[in-house]
Structure 1
Amino acid sequence: MWAMVPRLLGDNHYLVLATADRQGQPWATPVFFAARDEDRLVWVSAPDSRHSRNLTERPDVAITVFDSHAPIGGAEALYLEATAGPADDPVAALTLLNARLPAGKELTGDDLAPSGPLLAYCAEVRRHFVLIRGGDSRFDNVTDIRLRVTRTRWKARP
């Protein structure tokens, strides 16, 4: 099931970022993103946007990645639990994002604070889950469930 993780991260351009403020008021927003790998996702946002302000108060986030054009009954989804905040390496974040943007839409260092309106953010993923649709013959589930997945670590045999 782990193979779904890099595939969904590569196939989709937007994630839904769920944050909460200091009082626990939730907020969800779509953001264009790029994956550094299966454990690190980057995006840019205005630092004064609601979700960015929430991150300064509560860095724990939930993330969903899915194709909103999938036909009914054909959905696949990735659910992530992560900690997010300003990216340690904003230039690397821009490089990843620009690789996914169409020609002429690339971001530059001038787009980033302090001179620009955006800040690069990074989510460090702690847990990965995938959607298992109801009635999946591999599982005994009637309704949709989410299944935690981890990388398979192969050990060489002596």
Structure 2
Amino acid sequence: MRRVTAILDEHDMCVLGTVGAQEPRLTPCFFATLDEHRLVFVSSKGSRHVAHMQADPHCSALVLPEQAEQGRLVSLLLAGEVVRPQGLSRLAALTTYLARMRNRLPSSASSVHGLLDKKVFVLEAESIELVDTHLCRGTMRVGRR
């Protein structure tokens, strides 16, 4: 889990996989971590991936760390369901996201107030898969139940 935590701490962008009625969708998204099993996403209400997550909470997030060595494949896949936090949980998720993204957000969204009209989702990972071609087996899976 130290490797998983380190990757999540060092990166703030992933490819979010969602499923809609007509097609699956892959969307590059910024995220913040609540812990090694939960990621926060903040998106505009009209986004297709938001509509997908509202229709079907199953999704995945793929984090691709920059490769230090040529020929080495490293990735981290978190899969589970998203929940929409409410009340104080939503405020805590927004605060965490803002603290991580402050330098990336436009000035209009650089405060909690500027993000209040956005949709907030938390991916609660049921499985985590670390792929590293330098590991003996190449893959490590962690399940939560």
TM-score range, shorter chain: 0.7 to 0.9
Unaligned runs of 5+ in 1: 140-144, 152-158
Task: Work out whether 1:7 is the aligned partner of 2:41.
Answer: no
Task: Work out whether 1:41 is the aligned partner of 2:34.
Answer: no
Residue 112 of structure 1: aligned partner: 116
In 2: Cα distance, 1:104 partner to 1:48 partner = 21
Relative to structure 1, the CA distance from residue 104 to residue 138 in structure 2 (aligned partners, 3 Å threshold; closer, same or farther) is closer
TM-score, structure 1 as length reference: 0.76
Is this contact kept in 2: 1:91–1:109, CA < 8 A? no
Identity percentage over the alignment? 28
Counting helix residues as a fraction of each chain, which structure ranks higher? Answer: 2
TM-score, structure 2 as length reference: 0.82
Map Cα deviations across residues 86-144 of structure 1 (whole Å, 9 max, x no partner).
Answer: 2232211121112213459433224222xxxx1111111101110031xx4623xxxxx
Number of residue pairs matched? 138
Shift of 1:150: 5.4
Map Cα deviations across residues 28-50 of structure 1 (whole Å, 9 max, x no partner).
Answer: 11111110001111021012100
Residue 130 of structure 1: aligned partner: 130
Larger radius of gyration: 1
In 1: Cα distance, 2:69 partner to 2:102 partner = 26
Relative to structure 1, the CA distance from residue 48 to residue 4 in structure 2 (aligned partners, 3 Å threshold; closer, same or farther) is same
Which has the larger displacement, 25-34 or 103-112?
103-112
Residue 141 of structure 2: aligned partner: 148
